[in-house]
């Protein structure tokens, strides 16, 4: 869990509490500070460390205040934050980072850290969207949108999608990504792909939807409230568009959090 002192990072940590509790594993909070540079003022390193420790204490306190029986670990690490999180991902169940809404400069506003981690991490990556006023988007309402197709890694996407839906008591919007004719969803293929997961998670409500032009395009045009989109690693490059604009148009997609799953 990457902590940088922002409300976005704290909101992501709060979102991740349910993940840690359901898996009965510790939540590990890290803050990356730069490596010491030759000739840099001595006080700079001390200020970096002080800020990092304060940010970690604040995040840990917010997590503990939620009252869940989880262990919280915190550590200051050195080096670029994206590289630190990618290294951590080798032994993690999931990496979580925060993000504000995306403006017209997409990846710059998403942040190079979130973008790099979404593309290169060795485990699933959750990028939790936060609005400019610091509040989380769709934390307790809306659909979980899950990509359904015939790609090799789609079972992993479905597994994580259904797990998230059960964990958070949320219905699934199953996005059929086959490129069929207008108004046509390949229900036979969709039912075949979903059947085993519906049987395994009978309490999860599922509704099909067509996403022939891709998930990012679907999310950009839908008026359905989406709290989380679960996608495969092939869609990592579209994360910025899925996160959505910082100031959405009325009655259009307000953006959502994204879970990128490695197949």
Average pLDDT over residues 28-53: 79
Q: Token pair for residue 76?
A: 């200051």
pLDDT (tens digit, 9 = 90+) per residue, 98-109?
A: 886 544 334 444
* Whether pLDDT at 40 is above 70: no
For residues 242 and 212, the answer to whether their CB atoms sit within 8 Å is no
| Lowest-pLDDT choice from 9-18, 56-65, 78-87, 233-242 | 233-242
The edge-to-edge listing of strands for the beta sheet with 172-176 is 95-100, 125-130, 257-261, 226-232, 143-148, 172-176, 206-210
Contacts 24+ apart (CB under 8 A), 82-85: 82/112, 82/113, 82/116, 82/117, 82/120, 84/2, 84/30, 84/32, 85/2, 85/30, 85/32, 85/113, 85/117, 85/121
| Confidence label for 34 from pLDDT (cuts 50, 70 and 90) | confident
Domain 143-260 has CATH 3.40.50.12370: yes
What are the start-end ranges of the E strands in 64-151?
Answer: 72-78, 95-100, 125-130, 143-148
CATH 3.40.50.12370 placement within the chain? 7-128, 143-260
* Mean residue pLDDT across the chain: 83
pLDDT digits (tens, 9 = 90+) for 170-216: 999 999 876 554 445 566 778 888 999 999 999 999 998 888 778 88
User: How would CATH label the architecture of 7-128?
Assistant: 3-Layer(aba) Sandwich (3.40)
pLDDT bin (cut points 50, 70, 90) of residue 39 is low
């Amino acid at each position: 869990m990457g902590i940088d002192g922002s409300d976005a990072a704290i909101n992501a940590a709060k979102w991740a509490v349910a993940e840690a509790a359901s898996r009965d594993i510790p939540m590990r909070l890290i803050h990356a500070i730069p490596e010491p540079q030759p000739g840099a003022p001595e006080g700079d390193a001390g200020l970096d460390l002080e800020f990092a420790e304060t940010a970690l204490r604040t995040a840990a306190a917010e997590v503990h205040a939620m009252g869940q029986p989880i262990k919280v670990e915190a550590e200051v690490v050195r080096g670029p934050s994206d590289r630190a999180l990618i290294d951590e991902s080798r032994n993690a169940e999931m990496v979580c980072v925060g993000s504000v809404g995306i403006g017209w400069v997409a990846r710059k506003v998403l942040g190079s850290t979130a973008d790099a981690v979404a593309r290169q991490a060795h485990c699933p990556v959750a990028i939790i969207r936060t609005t400019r006023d610091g509040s989380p988007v769709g934390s307790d309402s809306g659909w979980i949108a899950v990509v359904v197709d015939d790609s090799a890694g789609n079972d992993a996407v479905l597994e994580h999608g259904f797990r998230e839906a059960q964990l958070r008591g949320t219905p699934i919007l199953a996005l059929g990504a086959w490129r069929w004719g207008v108004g046509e969803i390949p229900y036979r293929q969709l039912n075949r792909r979903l059947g085993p997961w519906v049987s395994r998670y009978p309490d999860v409500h599922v509704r099909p939807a067509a996403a022939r032009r891709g998930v990012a395009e679907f999310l950009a045009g839908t008026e359905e409230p989406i709290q989380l989109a679960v996608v495969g690693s092939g869609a990592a490059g579209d994360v910025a568009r899925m996160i959505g604009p910082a100031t959405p148009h009325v009655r259009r997609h307000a953006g959502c959090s994204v879970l990128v799953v490695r197949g």
